[in-house]
Amino acid sequence: MRLTWLGWAGVELEAGGATVVVDPLQDAGAVFAPLGERSADTPLPQVVPPSVGRAVAGLVTHLHRDHADAGALTAALAPGAPVLEPLAGGGDALEELALAQAEHELAATGLDRRRVAPWESLTAGPFTLTALPACDGIGDPQVAWLVEAEGVRVLHLGDTSFHGYWWRMARRHGPFDVVLVPVNGAVLSFPHRRPASPLPAALDPAQAAIAAEILGARQAIPIHAEGYEIDGTYQPVPDAAERFAAAAAGRGVPVRILDAGETIAIVSTSPSGLAASS
């Protein structure tokens, strides 16, 4: 299997002449655009587009705009390929406020959207795709995605916060050759979630290292790391990828920090080995 990191949380996986994409982001500037001038100076992550028209499925961990970019999904998907999403939250307009932008844009595309429950598996081309538990930091529906092909298992954790399903995930579906781990530990203060919490809404570097160790990651790649910062609204940990690498090294988890657009080859490994890359 070949893995291309697309920047922020986006990844493209290739096997058997087909691809799947997870959380591709094409328009990084649109994410906080609804905040108007408050977001004007936020640094944007570097992102690159996925391959055009090849993906047999588009996987979305949750419907926040930085993980559910309708334009990126439309460009990546082969004709008739589905978008796989977590179950709907079923809340009122205020509860669903953080999902409204992505929901509106996705609805306008006419793409084949399918809801998938945690622990449910589907196949698309050469890939087995399994939704696994995740916990969204502001209570919106979220899953992690396990992608399997060619004897390789790649787990994408979205931007989950810390939770207690790691052991079940590892027992039922491990070992994982590569785990893509969110690390920026952003503290959020949004108007639809009051009073605000001072706790990180996504894994911070130390938490991410613990999760990677519990999952038994043979190799971990930090994602959801650099970019976006709005004082008083979205405050990430600085230098998060490097801090994660240091914390993970202390727990015996090998880490590879990728540049946007960088591709590595992954092979299935023995329990004592590491995923090979180039």
Q: Does residue 273 register a pLDDT over 50?
A: no
Of 4, 89, 25, 33, which is closest to residue 260 (Cα–Cα)?
Answer: 4
Q: Mean pLDDT score of the chain, rounded to an integer?
A: 94
What share of the chain has pLDDT > 90, as a percent? 88
Domain that holds residue 51: 2-265
Model confidence at 35: pLDDT above 60: yes
Query: Would 222 be classed as within a structural domain?
Result: yes
What is the C-alpha to C-alpha distance for residues 254 and 271, in angstroms, rounded to an integer? 13
Establish if 274 belongs to a structural domain.
no
**For residue 275, what pLDDT is reported?**
44
Residue 272 lies in a domain: no
pLDDT tens, position by position, 101-114: 999 999 999 999 99
For 271, phi and psi rounded to 5 degrees?
-55, -25
Distance CA 210, CA 68 (A): 27
Average pLDDT on 154-165 reads 98
| Assigned domain for 18 exists | yes
Specify if 142 maps to a domain: yes
45 neighbors 7 (Cβ within 8 angstroms): yes
The pLDDT of residue 166 is: 98
Write the CATH number for 138: 3.60.15.10
Residues 6+ apart with CB under 8 A from 104: none
Of 159, 168, 176, nearest to 212 by C-alpha is 176
How far does the chain reach from its first CA to its final CA, in angstroms? 12
State the total domains in the chain. Answer: 1
Query: Helices (H), strands (E): how many in the chain?
Result: 5, 15
What dihedral do alpha carbons 139, 76, 105, 130 form, nearest 10°? -30
Domain assignment present for residue 270? The answer is no
Judge whether 54 and 9 are in contact, CB under 8 Å.
no
- Res. 33 pLDDT band, cuts 50 70 90: confident
Does 164 reside within a domain?
yes
Side-chain-side CA neighbours of residue 264 (13 Å): 20
Phi first, then psi: give them for residue 129, nearest 5 degrees. -120, 120
Report yes or no on 277 lying in a domain: no
Q: Is the dihedral of CA 102, 108, 111, 112 positive or negative?
A: positive
